[in-house]
Copies of this chain bind each other. A is one copy, B any other.
Amino acid sequence: MTAPTHTIRIRVRYGETDQGGVVYHSHYLVYFETGRTEFLRERGARYRDVEGDGLILTVVEAELRFLRPARYDDLLRIETRVLEVGGARIAFGYEVYRDDSDELLCTGSTRLGSLSAETGRPCRLPPPLRALLGS
């Protein structure tokens, strides 16, 4: 990964496991979201303020590869980076590791579209947001 990444750690909750004894797969999309939220916060943008300013970033595509299972109480390390910034689009990439063993558990990406909260229609990313995303 050449683009700068942001790292967070998340402890797996009991309710995130399933009867197979591992993290149920849909929760990785939540981990990804937490990753990009903290990525933005570190660069000075709180996503709650982005929405407060009338812009919604909505997930339009997601893809995930599950390599190894995460387990209850594992401390996960989520590495988030920007893959691409377009006029009204952002793509983020994610890698999820078991922090103590450094095993890669899951990789994925999400593509987000920028919408006006008022009209619900696509709108261009404001320059300050583009700037802090590094493009």
Using a CB–CB cutoff of 8 Å, the interface residues on chain A facing chain B are: 11, 13-15, 17-22, 24-27, 29-30, 33-34, 37, 46-48, 51, 56, 58-66, 69, 71-73
Whether B18 contacts A15 by the Cβ 8 Å rule is yes
State the oligomeric state as a number of copies: 4
Chain B residues positioned under 8 Å from A11 (CB to CB): 34
Whether B14 contacts A37 by the Cβ 8 Å rule is yes
Whether A66 contacts B58 by the Cβ 8 Å rule is yes
Partner of A14, one of B19, B27, B72: B19
**C-alpha spacing A64/B48, complex, angstroms:** 25
Chain B residues positioned under 8 Å from A73 (CB to CB): 37, 46-48
**C-alpha spacing A33/B17, complex, angstroms:** 13
Partner of A26, one of B17, B30, B69: B30
**C-alpha spacing A26/B65, complex, angstroms:** 15
